[in-house]
Structure 1
């Protein structure tokens, strides 16, 4: 790897270990094994490098989301079983990448002060809506994304009481029944 790739890998490690706000240029430099000046040369700023590291991490995680969405293709399972399997896989992946998700929440707060970061997060959310829409459109993707962020926040803060895949399905059933009555 070159300095640029080493810096991205080092920044990602720092994001996962220290979080957005507590990661310093010195931390990234040490994790990457390159000089602090290399950050400015390759990225212009600590923030731009952290943005890149987070975006790359989320792109890798999106591969796992796509695998979870493929669970919806099982022709032998009922629609509810497929949806539960999808959410079970999503939750498993959320837990495996807990530190990355915590860093992404921190980044959302930082985006209030960084137009570049906001632009990258918005692009990621648009892409997520499309993928989570399961070919049913923007509304389904938006609701799925809202569910994802809600489930993620519960797993980050209160994993003992956070919903399972089965809980998500049953909760949605109960909500839908309110509109049918």
Structure 2
């Protein structure tokens, strides 16, 4: 690896271990075995490097959860598929705890991190479409209001589950709890019988 890649790998480790606010440029440079000046040369700033590391870590989580959801998608029964998918997501938080901690940490700092709000906003639509496809066990569909609505639903459940898991892993809802809640809420809202 070159200095650029070493810096990115070090920044990713620092995010996972220390979080965003406690990671210093010196931590990253030392971990990469390069000078402090290398950060500016390759990324412009520590914040730009950390954002790049965060986006990469999110991609890694996406690949990991995509594989788990693909396994759940092989189940024919849609209710069982839903339960397995959400249990897989919940179980993924243990391996990727640092990533989720950093994301919640950054929510309160978005106004102070140039470029991050725009980068996250730009990824929002793609993320929603990707989640809709992943949870339905199929290829990403065209950008339609229906697919975006599905994505908003899945993204909201995902963020809620992540937040509850971070507070206490035993608090994170299981797929069974999500399915039961979905049945109750849809019955209340749509007037159908709840399951």
- Establish whether TM, by shorter chain, passes 0.5: yes
Correspondences of 1:32-43 after superposition (within 5 Å): 32-43=32-43
TM-score (norm 1): 0.92
Aligned to 1:168: 178
1:151-162 alignment, distance < 5 Å: 151-162=161-172
C-alpha root-mean-square deviation of aligned residues, in Å? 1.5
Superposed CA deviations along residues 67-102 of structure 1, whole A, max 9, x for unmatched, are 23324532x531110011111111111221011111
Partner of 2:6: 6
Which residues of structure 2 form unaligned runs of 5+?
A: 134-140
Counterpart secondary structure, 2:172: coil
CA displacement 1:2-26 (0-9 Å, x = unmatched): 0000000101111111110010011
- More moved, 146-155 vs 108-117: 108-117
Q: TM-score, normalised by structure 2?
A: 0.86
Contact 2:90–2:172 (8 Å) recurs in 1: no
Q: CA deviation at 1:124?
A: 2.8
Tell me the residue number matched to 2:88.
89
Residue 146 (structure 1) aligned with residue 156 (structure 2): yes
Aligned length: 180
1:56-95 equivalent positions in 2, closer than 5 A: 56-71=56-71, 73-74=73-74, 76-95=75-94
Question: Distance in 1 between the 2:10 and 2:181 partners?
Answer: 40
Give the SS at the match of 2:108: helix
What residue in structure 1 maps to residue 187 of structure 2? Answer: 177
Question: What residue is the counterpart of 1:31 in the other structure?
Answer: 31
